[in-house]
Amino acid sequence: MKKSMWIFAFSLLISVLGGAQSASPANSSPDSETRRMFFPRDMFWGWGQFDLAPPHNEIDPNLCAGNAGQYGGVNAPCSLFARYMLSGMLEVRPFGRGQLRRFMIFGAPTFLFGKTIPKTLYTWSPDAIGIEHSWGGAIYIAKGFEFRVTQHFLFDRLGARNTNLGQADLGNNGPWGRYMTVGVRKSFGTRRW
């Protein structure tokens, strides 16, 4: 249930983001859109991305050992190497005026799909593997600098793959494990489009 809620929330946020972008008038200035104190029209910013990894170049979330094929060949239970990746970032700035306008919260989920085993099994299967997600908050300081706090969670497996998958199973730590960071980000430049 928790996993399906993440998928639903990500889909909802992407659709809301698209609606917020198309709902703002093309000739209005950014100042007129941010005059509302709470929930200004331009409070959402983000991106979504779909990636496809070709055969022999699968995405390795570090859930199965690289030699997983030695533990059952094409029928090895640990086949958590991804063919497809759906990722995104959503930043929400809920305040439009005052010093609180510098505050934002963000989320960055990554969904992995596929069923392959390096050097053993290459399929185009869209089987769900799991979700790697992080979230946090930030405060804009000045001149493109932000103070950020980020919490990154362990990899959440989906469906039947949420069990121990034999000797090649490395656990749920994923590529980065669980961590929390405090940092500073510097943004620069503007996009041409």
Q: Supply the pLDDT for residue 22.
A: 45
Count of H helices and E strands in the chain? 2, 7
DSSP structure class, residue 116: B
Looking at residues 128-155, what average pLDDT do you find? 93
Q: How confident is the model at residue 3 (pLDDT cuts 50, 70, 90)?
A: low
Q: Per residue in 60-97, pLDDT tens?
A: 998 899 899 899 899 999 999 999 999 999 999 999 88
If we measure between CA atoms, which residue out of 21, 20, 9 comes closest to residue 109?
A: 9
DSSP structure class, residue 190: -
Looking at residues 102-106, what average pLDDT do you find? 95
Residue 32 clears pLDDT 70, i.e. is over it: no
Secondary structure of the chain: what % helix, strand, coil (to 5)? 20, 40, 40
24-28, 74-78, 149-153, 154-158: the lowest-pLDDT one: 24-28
Q: Is 159 exposed, middle or buried (0-12, 13-18, 19+ CB in 10 A)?
A: exposed
